Structure formats: structure tokens, C-alpha cells
Structure 1
Amino acid sequence: MVVTVFEAYAGLARRVLARPAWLGRTRLVAVDGPSGAGKTVFAARLADALARLGSGRPPVVNTDDLLDGWDDQLTFWPRLEESVLTPLRAGRAGAYHRYSWVRRRFLPRPVPVPAAPVLILEGVSVARAAVGPELSLAVFVTAPAALRLTRAVARDGPSILPELRRWHDGERAHFAADDTEARADLLVDGAPTLPHDPDRYYQRIARHPRPA
């Protein structure tokens, strides 16, 4: 049985800050889920809620900026590990180079990632099992496949459809093998239909065991 509940980003932000840091002194929050589900919006709103608590807006790393093109869907991780996660474990700031999907190369100017109390990672596979022990919170955002496809095409244009379909096949295989959704601390509906204030509230999907 699945139950949906609206919860405040402010409350989630307080829960994040109350959790222990497992990546050096940084609380690592992973916002995972399939493409077009609403991960980027959720991560930004959580970052805004954390900023309103007075400790500054946490850095948000979108892994689309780390991919070396479409073929780097899941293999970008060593780049993230070396440039961001390893320095943060040691209490030092990290930095990465942002990939330009227009120029098809990494840009020369580094993007700094401070050793802040919270770091939000957003993108497909960021809550993978390998990083689980260092996560303070794993979020999985989901939405219907047809809507996710519509969102992606509206954002990037129909020319991406061949690559996007291949991408969807890859992420489905990854999530099935990694069991990401089942391991997540929080399951979020990225396409809620009930009226609410989307800047303040998100729709949590509460999973309960079926009655015997």
C-alpha cells in the first residue's frame, strides 16, 4: 500500500542538519531518480530551505555538469570522487570543471565546492550503493515515464530523443541492479496533482507493508 503525504521543506532541512555528517564534516544529501522526475527542482528547494535556517545556502552539484557527454551516464563517478568527495572527506574544499553540452568539452574555469555543513548531489545514480555509508540522506524522486519524457523534450528539444531513449534504458538497468529506490530514506512524487504550495511543500510517498 502506498500513501502520499505533504511535508514541508523546512522540516526536512531541519532533519538534515540534525543528522550526523559521514563525509568528513559534511552532511551529504543525494537526490536521485530518473531523468525528468523533478530532481533539480527538489534539490534547489531543499537548498533554499536550508538557507532560510541561517547557515547559508549549501552547494548543489548537478551531475549533468560532470558528464563527458551522453556516454558518461554512470561512469562519471571517479571524476566526482577525485574532485569533490575526496577533498571534503579531508575537510578541504573541492572543485570541478563543468561540461558544456554546447561546446562538447569541459570548461577551463573550476567550480568551487566549499567544505560546507551540507552538500547536495543531484543526478541519476548519486545515491548509488557505493556511496551509501557516507550519505546523511538519500532521496529518490519519481514521476510517470510519459511525463518525464515530455519534460525532457520540452527542455532540450526533440533532437535528443534517440540519445534520451538510450539514456532511459541505462538508468532503468542501473536502478534495478542498484535497488536505489528501495534503499532511499525518502521517496518523493515529482508530479503531484493535489493542490499545494510547491515552494514550501513536497509530496512524500510513504511505503507501508501490505497487510497479511
Structure 2
Amino acid sequence: MPAPVILIDGRSGAGKTSLTRLLLERWPLDASPQLLALDSTYPGWDGLDAAVEDVTRNVLIPHAAGQQGRWRRWDWGAGEYAESHGVDPGLALVIEGSGILTPETAMLAGVRVWVESPADSRRERALERDGDTYRPHWERWARQEDDHVARDDPAAHATRVFVVP
């Protein structure tokens, strides 16, 4: 039987990373889970779908089959892929990031979380966190999230929904 998989999805600034941090701090099993933050895999500001497809094909599907998966880190400064990282199928896996909860990925994870938060609160948190680096890309990224929500209806595939004011 494959190790547990937890997916944590939500729009930018919703609170995914904070929730993930709390989960990891309170992890109930002896062996710590592997964490894959999609922020490390998005191939640029237009890469939401590409990262999800890559992680599904190269991490989630192999993990479910009990095989080692691999993901590639995106070097934002260089604008290209950098090193790759292995994912041990014998260890629990937590994947956190916008776009990760789709009909396909839902079938590969036992716990599926959607984090919901109002747009103004999300924007304030995201821009406070990432500042001027993110500001010019906010709308561009939000359109990709809108497409994901309309196409994949992640909240409908969640086993848990958290609402963050």
C-alpha cells in the first residue's frame, strides 16, 4: 500500500503554506513526510498548469504505484529548470500549491484540502509576503487560478475545506 498523500490547494495568499507548516509541526506519524511546494516547480509566471501536469505525471502517479518519483526545481532567477529531486514512495507526501487539486490528482491522494479566503485578504497577504516581486504578476497569476477553479472545481474534490478570513 502506498504511503499517504495530502494535497493542499488554494489561491495565492489563501493560507496554504501556513496550514502546511502547522500540519508538519503536528505530524502524528513517526516518519516525517516529504514536502513538495509547487512554488519550487512552476516554470515561470505562466506555469501553473505545466507544473501540475509535471508533478502529476512524475511524482503522484509513480508514488501511487510504489515507485520513486522525481520533480525539477525551477530557478526563477535563471528562468530555467535546475536540479531534480527524488520522492520516496515509502514516505508520506504533502504537496502544497495553487492548482494541485484536480479530478485526476484527487484520485491519487487520501486527504485533499481546499483553502478558501476572500480576494482582498489573499491579495494583501500575498503582496505583504512577496512584495514588489509579485505585484506586477498578481492579475496574470490570478487568471490561471480562475481557470483552474472553473475547470477543476477543486473545492468539490476536497475532503476538507478551510475558510481563512
Q: Same fold (TM over 0.5)?
A: yes
- Structural mapping, 1:133-152, within 5 Å: 133-152=107-126
Query: Partner of 1:41 in structure 2?
Result: 18
- Structural mapping, 1:1-212, within 5 Å: 25-50=2-27, 53-108=28-83, 110-191=84-165
The one-letter amino acid of 2:19's match is: F
Preserved CA contact (<8 Å) 1:59 1:116: no
Alpha-carbon displacement from aligned partner over 1:86-105 (angstroms, at most 9, x marks no partner): 33233233232211222222
Question: Using the alignment, how far apart are the partners of 1:159 and 1:57 within structure 2?
Answer: 32
Preserved CA contact (<8 Å) 1:39 1:190: no
User: What is the percent sequence identity of the aligned residues?
Assistant: 28
Greater than 3 Å deviation, 4+ residue runs: none
Q: Please state how far the C-alpha of 1:119 moved relative to its aligned partner.
A: 0.9
The one-letter amino acid of 1:89's match is: A
**Change in CA separation of 1:55 and 1:165 when aligned onto 2, cut-off 3 Å:** same
Question: Using the alignment, how far apart are the partners of 2:141 and 2:74 within structure 1?
Answer: 17
- In structure 2, the gaps of 5 or more residues are none
Query: Partner of 1:3 in structure 2?
Result: none
- What TM-score comes out, normalization by structure 2 length? 0.88
Select the structure of larger CA radius of gyration.
Answer: 1
Q: Paired residues, what number?
A: 165
Question: Using the alignment, how far apart are the partners of 2:136 and 2:42 within structure 1?
Answer: 18
Alpha-carbon displacement from aligned partner over 1:153-199 (angstroms, at most 9, x marks no partner): 122223532321121122123212222113311111234xxxxxxxx
Q: Please state how far the C-alpha of 1:131 moved relative to its aligned partner.
A: 1.6
Question: What is the DSSP-based 3-state SS (H/G/I as helix, E as strand, rest coil) of the residue aligned with 1:99?
Answer: strand
Please provide the CA RMSD for this pair: 1.9
Question: Using the alignment, how far apart are the partners of 1:178 and 1:162 within structure 2?
Answer: 26
Q: Please state how far the C-alpha of 1:117 moved relative to its aligned partner.
A: 4.1
- In structure 1, the gaps of 5 or more residues are 1-23, 192-212
Question: What is the DSSP-based 3-state SS (H/G/I as helix, E as strand, rest coil) of the residue aligned with 1:36?
Answer: coil
Question: What is the DSSP-based 3-state SS (H/G/I as helix, E as strand, rest coil) of the residue aligned with 2:107?
Answer: helix
Q: Please state how far the C-alpha of 1:75 moved relative to its aligned partner.
A: 2.1
- What TM-score comes out, normalization by structure 1 length? 0.70
